[in-house]
Amino acid sequence: MWIFLAFLAVPLIEIGLFIKVGGLIGLWPTLGIVLLTAIVGTALVQREGARALDDLRGSLNELRDPSRPLAHGAMILVAGVLLLTPGFFTDTVGLLLLIPGTRDWIMKTLGRHVKVSRFEMGGAYRTGPHDGRRSNDPEILDAEEAEQMTHRHPPSDGPSGWTRH
């Protein structure tokens, strides 16, 4: 429902702003502003995106939680889409998303409403002569023993269901 309202409201807001601004400054200056914000916005998105990518690399290299740089990167991507979309409202929201403080505020606000859970794969790492396994466990087969067993008993050439008669 919210997405439907956004898709309905944003174009109506943009049309209203185009009419208002176009009436105040004229058609060509209005189109020039829209084009200029797209060009400047693209440069800003590249700069902020590179910074977010560096932050992400740093957090991964230092084994820190990468959620902040990932969220910033996603918001910068949204900002780029909004800045390339013609309109004053979308340009304003896109420019606001390029400000790191705005992105932090959005993360903090959304963090109150989002439950974060953790998922890990793997188990405990064990050390020792058998890595925590019992040597008499029938499920565990040593590859060297299995290879020696196949060399002791060569395959027979007798009839079977898998050979031609």
pLDDT 10s digits, 129-156: 555 555 555 666 666 766 666 555 555 5
Has residue 25 been placed in a domain? yes
Assess if residue 121 is contained within a domain. Answer: no
* 104: containing domain: 12-111
Judge whether 119 lies within some domain.
no
Average pLDDT over residues 45-73: 89
Q: Cα(74)–Cα(81) distance, rounded to whole angstroms?
A: 11
Cα separations in angstroms, 152 against 141, 143, 148 = 17, 14, 6
Q: Are 83 and 45 in contact (CB under 8 A)?
A: yes
Asked if the structure places residue 136 within a domain, the reply is no
Evaluate whether residue 152 is within a structural domain.
Answer: no
Residue 26, in any domain of the structure? yes
Write the DSSP string, 139-151.
T---HHHHHHHHH
One-letter amino acid at 148 equals Q
Q: How many domains does the chain have?
A: 1
Mean pLDDT of 56-84: 90
> Residue range 32-43: average pLDDT?
91
pLDDT reading at 8 higher than 80 = yes
- Per residue in 13-26, pLDDT (tens digit) is 999 999 999 999 99
d(CA 35, CA 87): 10
Task: Specify if 163 maps to a domain.
Answer: no
Predicted model pTM: 0.64
Does residue 46 lie within any of the structural domains?
Answer: yes
